[in-house]
Amino acid sequence: MVEKKWVVLGTGGTIAGVGQDELAHTSYTAGRLGVERLLSALPAAADWSGRLELEQLAQVDSKDMSAAVWAVLARAVARLLDRQDVQGIVITHGTDTLEETAFFLHTLLAPLKPVVLTCAMRPATALGADGPQNLLDALTVAAEPRARGVLVVCAGRVLGPLDAQKVHPYRLDALSAGDAGVIAYVEGGQVRQLRAWPEGRARRHLLERLDRPWPRVPVILGHALAQEWVVEALVSQGAQGLVLACPGNGSVHQDLLAALQSAQACGVRVVRTSRCPLGRMVGLSQEPLPFWSELSAVKARIALSLDLMEAQP
């Protein structure tokens, strides 16, 4: 019989952050501690003895997340998913761009095993650090026999890769699933599931393209007094795709529309999303510009980049 294993991958973040003293909640350096140190601060990890493998893939502040780290991470997760003995994977990550990494892994790998990203809002050295509990909760979710897909665990909540969004710069429950709601709660070491685990269609063939430069796909924020020169400047700098975060239900400022349509006519892929943090866009047509209702602007940026990568010869 194959012995079951779980793998914890370290990428950095506040969960691995070190501050000057135990009151330093906001002044610290993210990503300083290795994943081994994080596990050694978790007495309950002893219960996992012999069943955990640890790999340090990066030690970054996730605001600085790079294509290189994503390539290393995606390939590591793909390799581990293919191992018969690996039942689940936990990834420690900063909160700032965690929702983007979760969406990227979901889109690329759509795993049938749990791949659980977790984080912290207080550095490991803080009084009342939240990382150890989040890490333990993430291990609990990764060991849940029915769990599958890319999941985000923070403050006792399990969020899906399409919905998870950082909504607060300081509070411990900084990540929200908006009005889609959480998939599950982790309570006293038990997983209470409310919604289906995430599913998707994997695009594994893109793994081999991740060393190429990512297509240029900036996000434009729709706002009062918007001006077309922003679009023109981005197109002149080689933008291959543009994601517009519209102020409402797909609405486009009249002074942006012509520039966006002329970018589209020149072969630039333009996609509308909403900058509203809750809900979905409704009742729209794909004219004058296509829209992706399910995705926030940063996630649409990833989806559009992967589409463009796929279309490359």
List residues with catalytic annotation. 14
Partners of 186 in the β-ladder: 191
Token pair for residue 40?
Answer: 């050694």
Residue nearest to ligand SIN (CB): 94
Q: How far is the CB of 156 from ligand SIN (least distance, A)?
A: 17
Q: How far is the CB of 13 from ligand SIN (least distance, A)?
A: 4
H helices present in 13-113, as ranges: 35-40, 67-81, 98-109
Give the chain's largest Cα–Cα span. Answer: 65
Q: How far is the CB of 118 from ligand SIN (least distance, A)?
A: 10
Distance CA 202, CA 215 (A): 20
**Whether the Cβ atoms of residue 102 and residue 161 lie closer than 8 Å to each other:** yes
Task: Indicate the residue among 61 and 144 with the shorter CB distance to ligand SIN.
Answer: 61
Can you give the binding site for ligand SIN, defined by CB under 6 A?
A: 12-14, 30, 61-63, 94-96, 119, 121
Task: Indicate the residue among 34 and 290 with the shorter CB distance to ligand SIN.
Answer: 34
DSSP 113: S
Distance CA 21, CA 33 (A): 15
Task: Indicate the residue among 87 and 95 with the shorter CB distance to ligand SIN.
Answer: 95
Q: How far is the CB of 157 from ligand SIN (least distance, A)?
A: 16
CB-count burial class (<10 Å; 0-12, 13-18, 19+) for 182: buried
Task: Indicate the residue among 129 and 191 with the shorter CB distance to ligand SIN.
Answer: 129
DSSP-assigned letters across all residues of 220-279: EE--TT--THHHHHHHHTT-SEEEEEESSSS---HHHHHHHHHHHHTT-EEEEEE--SSS
Q: How far is the CB of 301 from ligand SIN (least distance, A)?
A: 18
Task: Indicate the residue among 11 and 240 with the shorter CB distance to ligand SIN.
Answer: 11
